[in-house]
């Protein structure tokens, strides 16, 4: 039986930006986004834009938010990023208009190949369409599309695509009911 050999790990294919750009972002992120002392959403949106993110009008970014690489981020108009959200975007994360990411939600675009002896890094984009709601402490896995107005309930894990206007719950998340909006 083969074994994992992490000494042979190599992710040279992954080039998320210059070392200087990443270093400057790391400092700004720690001071402004990941702290609880800087609640000013407008300035946060401006900084994200300055680092290459496509940010719509009226976007709300709460405190203690972690965004890996803003140049791989798109957020539509009037979307909310709640306290403690972690956007681990090694590749593109696209968030539509009027999307809510509740407290502690995680969007994970990377993973490792557990069947590889060298534990290779794999990345896949995430798309969250208009009006969707990702509940508190919920996780969206790499390569997932959350369709328009879908709901991922508190603490649930999306390992497959979520259909439009459907409420999902569990680990892995399964469809529970249709979402009706009055």
Query: What domains are defined for the chain?
Result: 39-178 (2.160.10.10)
Q: Tell me the per-residue pLDDT of 57-108, one tens digit each, with 9 for 90 and over.
A: 999 999 999 999 999 999 999 999 999 999 999 999 999 999 999 999 999 9
- pLDDT at residue 171, rounded to an integer: 98
- pLDDT at residue 11, rounded to an integer: 87
Residue 144 contacts residue 161 (beta carbons within 8 Å): yes
Q: How far is CA 36 from the centre of its chain?
A: 20
- Predicted model pTM: 0.95
Q: What is the CA radius of gyration of the chain?
A: 17
Residue 82 contacts residue 103 (beta carbons within 8 Å): yes
DSSP state of 30: I
- pLDDT at residue 38, rounded to an integer: 87
C-alpha–C-alpha distance, residues 80 and 100, integer Å:
5
C-alpha–C-alpha distance, residues 101 and 45, integer Å:
16
1 band by pLDDT with thresholds 50, 70 and 90? confident
Reference 152, options 163, 7, 95; nearest CA is: 163
C-alpha–C-alpha distance, residues 42 and 66, integer Å:
17
Q: Tell me the per-residue pLDDT of 125-161, one tens digit each, with 9 for 90 and over.
A: 999 999 999 999 999 999 999 999 999 999 999 999 9
Which helix (H) or strand (E) covers residue 139, if one does?
strand 139-140
């Amino acid at each position: 039986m083969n074994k994992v050999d992490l000494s042979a790990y190599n992710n040279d294919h992954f080039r998320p930006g210059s070392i200087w750009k990443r270093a400057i972002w790391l400092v700004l992120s720690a001071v402004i986004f990941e702290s609880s002392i800087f609640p000013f959403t407008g300035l946060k949106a401006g900084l994200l834009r300055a680092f290459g993110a496509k940010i719509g009008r009226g976007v709300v970014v709460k405190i203690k938010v972690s965004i890996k690489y803003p140049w791989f981020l798109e957020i539509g108009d009037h979307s909310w990023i709640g306290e403690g959200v972690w956007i681990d975007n090694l590749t593109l994360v696209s968030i539509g208009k009027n999307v809510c990411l509740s407290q502690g939600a995680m969007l994970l675009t990377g993973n490792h190949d557990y069947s590889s002896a060298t534990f290779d890094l794999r990345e896949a984009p995430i798309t969250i369409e208009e009006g969707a709601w990702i509940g508190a402490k919920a996780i969206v896995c790499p390569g997932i599309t959350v369709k328009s107005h879908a709901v991922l309930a508190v603490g649930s894990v999306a390992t497959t695509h979520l259909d439009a206007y459907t409420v999902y719950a569990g680990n892995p998340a399964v469809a529970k009911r249709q979402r009706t909006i009055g």
